[in-house]
């Protein structure tokens, strides 16, 4: 599905009115959320790679948690970036709305970053899709009775989370 900047702008305005997204100056939390994101990725990697013994839960159950932890690493990184932009969010959907509105540059912002040789700091709309996909899979992993994940799908979600956290860390690096 194509990224719809106007829809994200409208959802952002609505979330502000509903107080699901709030202005914030608590910038001290940025580093704390980035640290949580990075450490959560390390934990997700560990859980993803566990080969359970016969005394432990089956691999499928470890995979559920690897997906959930990968998603939460993205959520923590998103919260850091949203705080950097002067806002805080109250829920997971508000986080997705905020990253779509606050982080994905419009054409003019993109051109400015390219002119300043900072195109590495462009937060592509695909990262919003990574977040949405991981959020959906995490929800399914937590709340459905059973869902089997292929190794490829688990790796895809983990790799997207790794890329997402790295991109936000890079964007916030100089600040």
More confident residue, 173 or 2: 173
CATH number assigned to the domain with residue range 5-172, chosen from the 4 options 1.20.210.10, 3.20.20.140, 1.10.3720.10, 1.20.120.330: 1.20.120.330
For the chain, the structural domain boundaries read 5-172
| Residues whose CB is less than 8 angstroms from the CB of residue 3 and which lie 6 or more positions away in sequence, other chains included | 100, 104, 125, 128, 129
| Cut 0.85: pTM above it | yes
**46 pLDDT more than 60:** yes
Going by C-alpha positions, the residue among 86, 111, 110 that lies closest to residue 98 is 86
Query: What is the average pLDDT value for the chain, to the nearest integer?
Result: 91
Of the ranges 45-54, 114-123, 140-149, the best mean pLDDT one = 45-54
Residue with tokens 């990697």: 45
């Amino acid at each position: 599905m194509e990224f719809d900047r106007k829809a994200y702008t409208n959802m952002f305005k609505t979330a502000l009115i509903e107080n699901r997204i709030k202005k914030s100056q608590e910038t001290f939390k940025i580093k704390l959320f980035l640290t949580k994101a990075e450490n959560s990725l390390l934990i997700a990697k560990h859980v993803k790679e566990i080969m359970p013994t016969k005394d432990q839960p089956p691999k499928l159950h470890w995979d559920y948690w690897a997906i959930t932890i990968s998603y939460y690493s993205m959520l923590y990184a998103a919260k850091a970036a949203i705080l950097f932009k002067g806002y805080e969010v109250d829920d997971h959907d508000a986080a997705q709305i905020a990253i779509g509105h606050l982080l994905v540059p419009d054409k003019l912002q993109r051109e400015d970053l390219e002119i300043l040789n900072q195109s590495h700091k462009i937060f592509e709309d695909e990262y919003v899709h990574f977040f949405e996909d991981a959020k959906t899979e995490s929800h399914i992993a937590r709340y459905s009775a059973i869902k089997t994940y292929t190794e490829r799908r688990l790796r895809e979600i983990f790799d997207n989370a790794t890329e997402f956290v790295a991109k936000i860390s890079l964007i916030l690096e100089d600040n």
